[in-house]
Amino acid sequence: MTTTLIADAPVDVDAEGFLTNPEQWNERIAEAIAADNGIPELTDRHWLVVRFMRERYLATGTAPSIRSLGKESGVSVKELYQLFPKGPAKLAARIGGIPKPKGCI
């Protein structure tokens, strides 16, 4: 774990750049991480997903999978991939300042 500066704020991140302490997060950090990952502007739809992920993580200790996101966030899986190319759950977690979702087994 290392400490780094994102949007002028010191944050703890893991080896892959996920925040390890969700309390250090703010919206400017989210925007900076998004821009770094090919999303120049976070739209309302992006925010809806990011907030849903974050709230779910803070309430349950687990980030939802893409499937549960598709069922519960109000954004379909197809749109999730349009909003967050490659891996929506991972990217939304990264932007939302929560740890990398654990693959289930």
Partner 1 sequence: MARRSSGARVDARTRRLSGLNRKRIVILGGGTGGTMTANRLRRRFDQDEAEIHVVDRDDRHVYQPGLLFVPFGLARLEEIVRPRGRQLLSGIAFHESEVESVALDEDEVLLADGTSLRYDVLVVASGVRLQPEETEGLTGAGWNERVFTFYSPEGAEALRVALERFEGGRLVVNLVDMPIKCPVAPLEFAFLADWHLRERGVRARTELVYATPLDGAFTKPVASEQLGGLLAEKEIDLVTEFNAGEVDGVGGKLVSYDGRELDFDLLVTVPLHGGADYLERSPGLGDALGFVPTDRATLQTPARPNVFALGDATDLPTSKAGSVTHFEAEVLTENVARLLSGEELEAGYDGHANCFIETGFHKALLIDFNYEVEPLPGHFPTAFGLPLLRESRLNHLGKLAFQWVYWHALLPGRELPGLGPTMPTAGKRMVPVHTT
73, 63 contact by CB (below 8 A): no
For partner 1, give the closer residue by CB, 2 or 85: 85
d(CA 40, CA 56): 25
For partner 1, give the closer residue by CB, 54 or 56: 56
Q: List b or e across 54-83, with b for residues whose CB sees 16 or more CB atoms inside 10 angstroms.
A: bebbeeeeebbebeebbeebebeeeebeeb
Active site positions, annotated:
104
Q: Smallest distance, Å, CB 100 to partner 1?
A: 7
How far are the Cα atoms of 1, 3, 12, 97, 105 from residue 50, in angstroms, in the given order? 23, 23, 19, 9, 24
What are the residues binding partner 1 (CB under 8 A)?
Answer: 65-68, 71-72, 77-78, 80-81, 85-87, 100, 102-105
For partner 1, give the closer residue by CB, 24 or 68: 68
Q: Smallest distance, Å, CB 78 to partner 1?
A: 7
Q: Smallest distance, Å, CB 63 to partner 1?
A: 12
